Amino acid sequence: MYLYTITPLLGSLKNYVKYKRFNILIFIRTIYIYFIIQLFVKGNNIWMTLMLERWFFFVFKIIRSFIRNDYIRNRLKYEQKYSLIYR
């Protein structure tokens, strides 16, 4: 069961180092997703649960970035901020 705490702890540490804040909701969200996946998979394979959780968030972040149009928004921000020219 200790394997289920490694990813949330490392993710929280990364967020603290990067953003200088700890978000308990993100920590709990990962454990909650583990629980949901464990219910649907109906198995005791911890490694598969960890892998499926990472895949879930990978796809989730791709879809969110596509909907929010992050590439265009960031490109415009950096063009203004650094006077960059994209071709």
Burial 59-74, CB ≥16 within 10 A → b, else e = eeeeeeeeeeeeeeee
pTM over 0.75: no
Per-residue pLDDT reduced to its tens digit, 25-34: 988 988 899 9
Q: Residue 63 — very low, low, confident or very high, per pLDDT cuts 50/70/90?
A: very high
**Domain limits of the chain?**
3-82
Q: What does the DSSP 8-state code read for residue 87?
A: -
